[in-house]
Structure 1
Amino acid sequence: MLRLAVLVLLLANLGYYAWSSGQLQPWGLAPHGEAEPERLQRQIAPQNLELLPPARPRPAPPAAHAPADTPPAAAALAQAAAEPAACLQAGPLNEERAKGLRSALASLPAGSWTLEPSEVPARWMVYMGRFADEEALARKRAELRALKLAFDRPGPALEPGLSLGRFASEEAAQQGLADLVARGVRTARVVQERAAQPRYTLVLPAATAGLRAQLDALALRWDDTPLQACS
């Protein structure tokens, strides 16, 4: 029985080999072939095929320019970032000049300038006056010299008179007056020479050549506070 099974298996292998190798093709027994011309006969509309050349790589955009689809505002910022820039400032400016600059500089790009506020503090004075005439003023000067006390002119708003010292606060001025009274001064008093006053400094943190050109086109008058490098 085992010999019969081995014989059947051997005959089956021989038969498969003869079929797969095409030896039984004359009897119509052979596997479906992939050789020519069968493969050509199975092509579908070969005349419609078109050979294309290989794709050419697209060149990268130059690094110095923004991409074509970059928004205009972003492109302008990219160009400004590439320009050399310097910090410039002008001041201090009083309230009137600062107000005029706010209006004039409104045409410049947003964020390209600021007006930074500060304050000139109030100042107090130990004062003598106003005197009736120049003769009275001269007599008071002589008295102060005799007491070996320093004095100077108080400014146009308090003429004719004398300043015996200026102070940053009223308390300091009152103490200065007490010291002078102890040395023989009798007619002096404390006055406020000036009130606290707002001041502003114009700052252009990144002034490029393009921004300077825009600024020059405004023809602003800087007088005694010209633009200069930030301190």
Structure 2
Amino acid sequence: MLKLFFWLLLIANGVLFAVNRGYLGATASERHEPKRMAQQLQPETLTILPPNSEKLVTPARAAEQAATAEADKSAKPASDAPAASAPAPQADAKTEPKAEVKADLKAEAKPAPKGETIACTEIGNFNTVEARKFEAQLTSLHLPAKAVPRSVQEAGSHMVYIPPQDGKDGADRKAAELRRLGIQDFYVIPESQTNPALRWAISLGVFKTEEAAKAYIGQLIPQGVRSARIMARNVTSTRQAYQWRGIDAATKASLDSLKAKFPNQEMRSCTG
């Protein structure tokens, strides 16, 4: 047994020696990398590139764009299908009744409504100096409607009163009626009044302006007093007012702007 083991070990050493010497062909060392590098064809044409090199990124982008274009081409037939069915509503639109079209044409053919016309507007009361200034600025506006001047008697005060009725007895009955209505602030004008039209009349108050007097009458009417009147007292001077009749909205706007330059004056409606 030992002899067999000896001879096997001797044979193995002999084979190993023959391989290392190359008696059996190329050695293992000749087949390693240095030998292979010597056997390369045109190794100078090879270049080692870094990971972020543009030469590596550009082909990748080109491949990505090609893939995107291919996906768009495959999606295009699906988007063309709804477009092919789009003309269908046009055919339905052609079947609309002609009567509706004619009605729309008639509605468009109707003329635009005319602007609202204001019957009568008045601005005043001006003294002589203010009237000249107002007329100068009015002329510069070149309004289509002509102003009509009129004289206005300016009163120092306005009295709200109930006219006399059957002398003293009528005044007493009216005074009792006012008390029942809850009105206590009044004055019975005696027979000694110099103005005969006011004897046994009942004064309900004296106001500086006519507008204030009208406002007070508006408060008396809901309480049941419907016979009250307004009388101007202490007429002091004659003033100038201007009237315009049948004016449109544009003219009214111009007059509003002009009146704003005279804040002490009043703009009011008047009878047409």
Same-fold status (TM-score > 0.5): no
Query: What is the TM-score when the length of structure 1 is the normalising length?
Result: 0.29
Query: What is the TM-score when the length of structure 2 is the normalising length?
Result: 0.25
Whose Rg is larger?
2
Q: Relative to total residues, which structure has the larger helix share, 1 or 2?
A: 2
